[in-house]
Amino acid sequence: MRDTISGAFALALGCIAMYIVYLSLNAPYHSDLPEPSLPSVEMPTPSPVCTEGEQLACTLPSGCEGMKMCFNGQWTDCIVPFVCEPGSTRSCIYKPEGANCGTHGMQTCNECGTGWSECA
C-alpha cells in the first residue's frame, strides 16, 4: 500500500510540474522593453491606366485574337473566347446555295478554339 501512495504522490507532483511549465509557456511576455512593432509602410495605390469596362483588342503569341478588359483600373491578360476544342469536328447539314435539300457535312474547330469552319 505504501508503494501505491508514493506512486500516486509522484504522479501528482509530475502533473503539478507539467502544469507549471504549461502556465509559464502560455503566460504573456513581461519585460521592461517596449513591445516590438513593425514600421508602418504605406503601399501606394497604383494609378488607373484604363477606364473601368474599357476593352482593347489583343493577340496571344500563338496568333489567336482576344480582348483585354479594364478591371479596377488595370488591364487583364489577353482573354480568348473558347467555344470548341481546336481541331475537333462536328457534323452539320451542308446546303449549297440554290439547292432544295442539304447533305451531311463536317465543321472543324479553328486552331484558336474560337469558332467553327463553314460546313463542307
Cα–Cα–Cα angle for 44, 47, 52, nearest 5°?
135
This prediction has a pTM of: 0.49
Residue with cell 485574337: 65
The helix or strand, by DSSP H or E, that contains position 74, with its residue range, turns out to be: strand 74-75
> Each residue of 43-84: pLDDT tens digit?
777 777 899 999 999 999 999 999 999 999 999 999 999 999
pLDDT of residue 10: 73
75, 49 contact by CB (below 8 A): yes
The x, y and z cell numbers of residue 15, run together, are: 502533473
Q: How far apart are CA 97 and CA 79, in angstroms?
A: 36
Question: pLDDT at residue 3 above 70?
Answer: no
Residues facing 58 on adjacent strands: 66
